[in-house]
Structure 1
Amino acid sequence: MTNQVKKVRVMAFGTFDLVHIGHIKFLEEAKKLGGNNSELIVVISRDTTAERIKKQAPIFNEDERKTVIQALKPVDKAVLGYKGKDMLQIVEENKPDIIVLGYDQRIGTEEFQKLRKEIKERGIKAKLIRMPKYSTGLNSSTIIVKKILERNKNNLQNLN
């Protein structure tokens, strides 16, 4: 019988609409939090959730975003979030050791503390970590879209 060491399960959340270097670094660093024997599970926001939070529909649908994230090297498993408002149901089922939130996820300090309390009250023994910003420049889908629009505007003006 072999001694198998339990994998440290790290769970990260996000919309991941236009994947960029900030997303890649976030996922690489999230996985590192679990050490050499870690498993990274990434929860992709449902289209309805992303639209509710960001006030606009994602460019890529949830299945396309899941496929892209699943293909990334640090990701062991990509899953779609549950429909509805109980965001912790998926956490309860996957039992992560570490829950990772990005620097830009819209949850303030007070909400972060409430989330930490709710996790504890539900008996989820996971450490909650907010990750820092990992890159500058084209590190958000909004910035990428603005740059594309700006470039197209300039190209159209040059045609006239």
Structure 2
Amino acid sequence: MTAPRRVITFGTFDVFHAGHLRLLERAAALGDHLTVGISSDELNARKKGRRPVYPLADRMGIVAALRCVDEVFVEHSLDAKRDYVLDRRADLLVMGDDWTGRFDALGDVCQLAYLPRTPSVSTTAIIEQIRAS
């Protein structure tokens, strides 16, 4: 019998959409336990230059309610990925392919997978479309 495979992924998950769901479902299918780090409002502001539309508590509630997600926590820093992986005993870090190569240095503590993004689905594009309406 093989040991359970713990998967971890990260994101803002603002204005939750089908691309988010597909990424989480594909990540969950790679293991037995999916942990999701959700960017704090402050981290998102630093990372994307804007605060999320939905506050952190709402985004965490939405993601935690998904069948494919076992655990959520707040991600405060992009630079703490190694600590998050180790603290949660993750075997596999899954990220969207827009991050390809960015976390390769973590290959000494876990496996890495960069999954393709869902074509034509983007939180930024959705927000821009809403603002233009």
CA distance in 1, matches of 2:12, 2:80: 17
- Identify the residue that residue 156 of structure 1 maps to in structure 2: none
Alignment partner of 1:87 out of 69, 81, 88: 81
In the alignment, does 2:106 pair up with 1:147? Answer: no
CA, structure 1 residues 101+82, in 2 after alignment: closer, same or farther (shift >3 Å)?
same
- Identify the residue that residue 66 of structure 1 maps to in structure 2: 60
Equivalent residues of 1:82, 1:89 under 8 A apart: no
CA, structure 1 residues 134+86, in 2 after alignment: closer, same or farther (shift >3 Å)?
same
Equivalent residues of 1:50, 1:58 under 8 A apart: yes
- What are structure 1's unaligned runs of at least 5 residues? 152-160
TM-score, structure 1 normalization? 0.74
Q: In the comparison of the two structures, how many residue pairs are matched?
A: 133
Equivalent residues of 2:9, 2:94 under 8 A apart: yes
SS where residue 44 of structure 1 aligns? strand
Identity of aligned residues (%): 29
- Identify the residue that residue 105 of structure 2 maps to in structure 1: 117
CA distance in 2, matches of 1:142, 1:47: 15
- What are structure 2's unaligned runs of at least 5 residues? none
Alignment partner of 1:31 out of 28, 39, 59: 28
Structure exhibiting the larger radius of gyration computed from Cα positions: 1
CA distance in 1, matches of 2:105, 2:78: 20
Residue 88 (structure 1) shift: 2.0
CA distance in 1, matches of 2:8, 2:71: 10
Q: Deviations over 1:32-68 (max 9, x none)?
A: 112xxx1111110111111111011111122221111
Q: Which runs of 4+ in 1 moved over 4 A?
A: none
